[in-house]
Amino acid sequence: MTAREYTWRGRFGPMQLQISQHTFTPSTISTLIAEELSIEGTDVVIDVGCGSGILSIVAAKLGAEAIYGVDASPDVVEVASGNAEAHGVGDRIRFHQGNLFAPLPYDLQADVIIGDVSGIPDTLAAFSGWFPSGTGGGASGSELPVAMLEAARARLEPDGRLYLPTGTLQDEQAILDTARRLFGSVEHLTERVIPLPGQLADSDVVRDLVASGVVTLGRKGSRSTWTARVWLLTSPKQ
């Protein structure tokens, strides 16, 4: 495996992580989720779209009893497990390679789900180079997050919590409509306005997505911006 070092400067940082050519590099959204993450000592956590394993590591350092990380990256087990071991929490985290919840035991239930899956349109993912796989969350960027939410509802314990990132670079409303239909309780935790690189903002790809209503951009001075948000979803009590 060829890897490079990345310095995580979010919660519990700085931490050195190994990032391979297949690993999604932690982003502003990763940092926002980490800051909002609340864990109790008996919590079982599922980290969907775990990438380097950083949010699983944060959950472990917050005291989670057991964490299961899942990612489609072909070397996620090697990369994320190495990062967890390096930061002293490998005994409580198990990483799995595959799509969403498919690699996990069918009867595994969680108190907390971290749902940080790819959530920008495929055309933007391919053009931006942000994702090693070159693919995003579907044509509108909502398809994969919606599928994650549909599957997550059955994986959460009653009164369980799901941390959901969204943004204005995707069909955000479709994701939130699904979240409210399935969970009822959808609480806005935090958001951040992020500049969009000029080569993206001026591209035909982004212009087409804005024209179709999938992407919504703001302005700060001369720069185009987008907004990242984190939500807390709570499953109904039985």
pLDDT at 1: 66
Tell me how far apart the alpha carbons of residues 9 and 31 are, in angstroms, rounded to a whole number: 8
pLDDT at 238: 67
And the tokens for 39? 């864990």
CATH of the domain at 34: 3.40.50.150
pLDDT at 133: 83
Per-residue pLDDT of the chain (238 residues; tens, 9 = 90+): 678 999 999 999 999 999 999 999 999 999 999 999 999 999 999 999 999 999 999 999 999 999 999 999 999 999 999 999 999 999 999 999 999 999 999 999 999 999 999 889 999 999 998 988 888 999 999 999 999 999 999 999 999 999 999 999 999 999 999 999 999 889 999 999 999 999 999 999 999 999 999 999 999 999 999 999 999 999 988 6
As for how many domains the chain has, the answer is 1
Residue type for position 155: R
pLDDT at 11: 98
List the domain range (segments joined by +) for residue 156. Answer: 3-234
pLDDT at 64: 98
Instruction: Supply φ then ψ for residue 70, to 5 degrees.
Output: -135, 140
One DSSP character per residue, 119-156 reads -S-HHHHHHH--STTS--SSSSS-HHHHHHHHHHTTTE
- In sign, the C-alpha dihedral spanning 11, 19, 165, 215 is positive
Tell me how far apart the alpha carbons of residues 45 and 93 are, in angstroms, rounded to a whole number: 9
Cβ within 8 Å of residue 219, ≥6 positions away: 225
